[in-house]
Each structure stands twice: as structure tokens, then as C-alpha cells.
Amino acid sequence: MTGIPTTGAVKRAAVMAVQVGPGLLGLVVGLALLLGDDDRTVQLQAPLWVCLATVGLVVSALVVTVVRDSRLRSAQAAAVAGAVRTTREEADVRARAEHRTFVSRLDHELKNPVMAIRTAAGVMRTGEVDEQLIGIVDSQSARIALLVADLRKLSDLETAEIAAAPVALEPLIDDVVTVMRDEIRTRGLPGRAIEVQLPRIPWSVPDVSGDADLLFLAVYNLLANAVKYSAPGASIIVRAMEGSGGVTLEIADTGQGIPADEVDAVWDELQRGSNARGLPGSGLGLPLVRTIVERHGGRVQLLSREGRGTSVRLWLPFGPAASRPAVPTMELQVVSPAERASRA
């Protein structure tokens, strides 16, 4: 129906009345006193109508300022709430996409061993049971068990409490290299030389802070990858250097490398380079390394060129007791020729 003001119009009229009402009231009262016969003044020796008009204008200005600030704060709060809502929605979309990708990779990893086990079971039902079929079932079930164990380990590491004790890197690296050299001999992988380059002059690599067993696992996984993806005659180097408040540990090899467009993806769970599909592995080694290093307050970096090799670098913060040995200062004493002659 026409002629009936809307709720919005009523609200705007009320706000306008609050904003300009005191000022108008002050002006009206002041003019009434001016036109009347009342010559009363205040202590400021100003006519009363001037004081009332001034007070009314000041009150109106204050009300306008308060209302404007309130509207501005409301607009800012609405903008922040909208940004938070948008960020949360985007995060939910990313999380769902990552979950779908993970499930797809998990399905791919489990499909082959499950199919092999089912095939072997089908043959066994016919009464043909031999050592080869038993070996297939045993190896593929072990593969699934290892995958599940690695997934559980990765999940536990994301929330587990990490010890913060000083860890000496030099003996830890020596232990990892010793274990890997033994595995190379037992698995019959000749021609893969591991070289260790650790600084000892003027001092050794300082301690880092963390859990020695977890750091051993991280270094072992990287060295195992370097061996696995390297052909006979390849070079593998383990080196460390200090700087930027911590120690950088690098494991480099001259192996097959990773395609350039897949370098970033290999840090994801169950993701492997396309040129590594024919080799055993679950795609959880590098994610496990990254989780361990990041839980220790460190960071990881991977550089690779297909056909040339790979370099993985771990930066770990110094341990609480790690300090670089102080370099003694040298005092130079200037001796004049006369003093030198007298000493002689």
C-alpha cells in the first residue's frame, strides 16, 4: 500500500533525528531566547542562546561521529567475517581435493598387490599349491603391511611429541652410511660408492636439537633413495655445513633424477616420479622425511635434473648446547729494529 513508510525509511528517519535533533533543539531554544526579553548570561559573559546553540551543535557533531564510527566498524567486521568465511571455504575445498587425490593414490598402490593375492588364491583353489604361489602371497601381503605401517607412522609423527635433546650429526651420519654400505653388499648392488664430506677443521659439525632415532630414519630414507635410484658407477655424497643458525645436511647422487614437472609433487604422500614406477617403493619415504624435519623446526629442499641426479637438503636448527668453538684472538706485537737487535 502507498503512503505507509517502510521499515528502512523509518530507521533512516530515526537516525537523522538523533543526529541533527540536539543541534536543532539548541538553535530553536537559542533563537527563542534571543527574540524574547530574557537577557540572562552565563559566567562566560555570552548570551544564553549562543551557549545553547553551541552545545546543541557540539552534541550533534559527537552523535554524527559516533554513528559514522559504528557504521565503519560494522562494515569492517562484516568484511573480516566475509574474508574468514571465504578462506575457510577455500581451505575446505583444498582439503577435499587433497583427500580425493590421496584416496586415488592409495587405491593405485593397493590394487596391484591385492590383485596378485587374489590371483594366487584362485589358483590355489584348484588344488595347485606350490612355493611360487606362496611366495607371491607372502611378498604382496608384506607389501601391504609395510604400506599400512608407513601410513600409520606418518600419521603418528604429525602429532607425536618430539624430544629436544642435543644430537651429534657426525656419528649419526657414520652409522647410517655403515648400515647402507652393508645393505649394498648383502643386496648385491655393486658400483655404488658413498662418500662422506664432513667439516672437521677448524671444528666439526655442531649438534642439532631433536630425536636421534627420527633423524636417523630421515637420513636413512634419503640415502636409501639415492642408492635405489642410482645405477652402478653412480656417485653418492653426504655432506654437511653450518650456517643460518643451524646445520644443512645434503645427500646428492648422480642417479636417474626426477622429471622437472614432478619435483614438487614427490613430497606428497604416495606420489612417485613417473620414471620410478618400475622400482619398489610406496611413495611415503620423502613425505616421512619432510614431516620429521618440519617437526624438528627445520625445512627441506629438493633439486633434481632427469638423467643427471638429485640433491636433497635438510636444514636443522642448532641444539640448545651447540655452539661454535671460540676462535682465539691473536695479539700482534710490533718490535722496533733496535729492540730486535738488543734481543739478539
What mean pLDDT, rounded, does the chain reach?
74
More confident position, 109 or 170: 170
The grid coordinates listed for 165 are: 635433546
114 is a domain residue: no
Place of cell 630421515: 218
68 is a domain residue: yes
Rounded to the nearest angstrom, the gap between the alpha carbon of residue 81 and the centroid of all alpha carbons in its chain is: 25
118 is a domain residue: no
Which residue among 45, 60, 86 closes a domain? 86
Same domain? 194 vs 67: no
pLDDT tens column, 199-218: 988 888 999 999 999 999 99
Same domain? 311 vs 178: yes
pLDDT tens column, 268-323: 877 777 777 667 777 788 888 999 999 999 999 999 999 999 999 999 998 765 44
CATH code assigned at 174: 3.30.565.10
Which residue among 55, 86, 117 closes a domain? 86
Same domain? 180 vs 309: yes
Q: Is the pTM of this model over 0.75?
A: no
Same domain? 68 vs 173: no
Q: Residue 156: pLDDT above 80?
A: no
Highest mean pLDDT among 1-5, 75-79, 85-89, 250-254: 250-254
Domain that holds residue 15: 7-86
Q: How confident is the model at residue 34 (pLDDT cuts 50, 70, 90)?
A: low
Same domain? 196 vs 308: yes
Same domain? 310 vs 186: yes
Which residue among 86, 119, 152 closes a domain? 86
Q: How confident is the model at residue 336 (pLDDT cuts 50, 70, 90)?
A: low
Q: Residue 26: pLDDT above 80?
A: no
pLDDT at 310: 94
248 is a domain residue: yes
Same domain? 305 vs 195: yes
Domain count for the chain, please give it.
2
99 is a domain residue: no
More confident position, 139 or 198: 198
Same domain? 198 vs 296: yes
pLDDT tens column, 116-130: 777 767 777 777 767
pLDDT at 308: 92
102 is a domain residue: no
pLDDT at 57: 63
Peptide bond before 202: cis, by omega within 30 degrees of 0? yes
> What is the pLDDT averaged over residues 152-171?
82
pLDDT at 69: 73
124 is a domain residue: no
269 is a domain residue: yes
